[in-house]
Amino acid sequence: MREVTIQRPISIPKLSTALGVEPYQILGQLICRAVFLSPTDTMDDSLARDVATSFGVQLRMIDEDGNT
């Protein structure tokens, strides 16, 4: 499993870029989990981690100041 670092807050476009997938693929994973977000909404760490895992990616989240 590859590891990717992403900066909070995590949006659908930001996560899709980090994972190297299309935004609609992220939306599909969210809908399967009965989570409905618009592209500008942010998601919590747990949800982002779950979605990333479904694409075979381990997320490392950092704050704007670079802290985990």
Range of the domain at 23: 2-62
Listed in sequence order, the residues at least 6 apart from 31 whose beta carbon sits closer than 8 Å to its beta carbon are none
pLDDT tens for each residue of 13-39: 999 999 999 999 999 999 999 999 998
In a domain, 56, yes or no: yes
Least confident window among 29-33, 53-57, 64-68: 64-68
Question: Is 68 a member of any domain?
Answer: no
Distance between CA atoms of 40 and 7, rounded to whole angstroms? Answer: 15
| Count of the separate structural domains present in the chain | 1
Strands (E), the chain: 2-7, 10-11, 42-43, 57-62
Instruction: Name the residue among 15, 4, 6 with its Cα closest to residue 51.
Output: 15
